[in-house]
Amino acid sequence: MVMMKAIVYNKKALPYRLVYSDVDQPIPNDDELLIQVQAVSLNAADYRSLKLGIIPQKKIFGADIVGIVESVGKNIHAYKPGDQLIGNLAEYGFGGLAEYALAPERLVTAKPVNCSVAEAATLPMAGQTALQALRNKGEIKPGDDVLIIGSGGGVGSYAVQLAKFFGARVTAVCSPKNVEQARWLGADDVVDYTTDNFLTDKRSYDLIVAINGNYSLLACKRILRPGGRYVMVGGALTQVFKAILFGRLLSFGTKKIRSLAEKTTVTDLEFIAQLANDKKIKPVVETCYPLEQAPEAMHYLAEGHCKGKIVITID
């Protein structure tokens, strides 16, 4: 077998349970591409799965990849060796934190040429999550007043920009260190949650997208306008569970409480990639780590204070 480097889960490896190891390089079947990975962006899906003990079958995390096609199965016709692609492997067992990864055709698309490798790695999961929260669940319309709770991270930074792209007025909620970033990304108003309480002021919103934090669902519902929508994307696990369990109960009347489970589609992936290529959205990369430092990067991301995205680069 040909060997490769990867970050592998090991429950006995302290402090992070992730180890830089030699493993067998995967072999594609007839319906798979073998991709030489150039960069991987980390997501909440990675560290939350790790925290909950939901471990990929091959024990390798990492969903969002950028890489070059090494070889293809006989049923692959859209791509060939040498093509540079982006993809989201969350629905395919993860596996991105490695020198090589397998992907089906339905979860990848061409890398936008006007983005760096690190920038392109941030697009798939975060970009699609923001898009589906605003468009699919949030039913965003031009002129909507939109509140984005947790605008500083990967999903939040894309949500601010996509809401503006769809013609909304955006209020971003973030920590003090992300205030300037939110303004730079186009937010019309920015709320520093350490000094201002957006739940008690007199403003109301057509759409609230909750990406981070742990705020009362009832309090959020009170600041929705008639016909308003609240979309739970992330945040504290207790908050996510409450939105799933009580969302339908709280949705009696015209105000709706919804939760989102992002699902990769080639159409959405191509849409996000095209916006980035046309410079209509801007990937925000806080910092890059080499593959061997991915455990430390995962720990930093889990602390919840990132500005944009954390990217792992692979030589």
pLDDT per residue as tens digits for the range 48-70: 899 889 999 999 999 999 999 99
- Mean pLDDT, to the nearest integer, of 137-161? 96
Q: What is each CA distance from 271 to 73, 268, 281, in whole angstroms?
A: 26, 5, 11
Tokens 């692959």 belong to which residue? 76
pLDDT in tens, 245-285: 666 666 677 899 998 888 889 999 999 999 999 999 999 99
| Cβ-based neighbour number of residue 248 at 10 Å | 11
Residue 30 pLDDT class (50, 70, 90 cuts): very high
Domains belonging to the chain, first-starting first, are 3-123+283-313 (3.90.180.10), 125-259 (3.40.50.720)
- Kindly state the tokens that stand for 12: 């006995």
Please state the pTM of the whole predicted model. Answer: 0.93
Does residue 108 sit in helix, strand or coil? strand
pLDDT cut 70: percent of the chain above it: 94
Contact yes or no for 151/159 (Cβ under 8 A):
yes
pLDDT at residue number 295 = 96
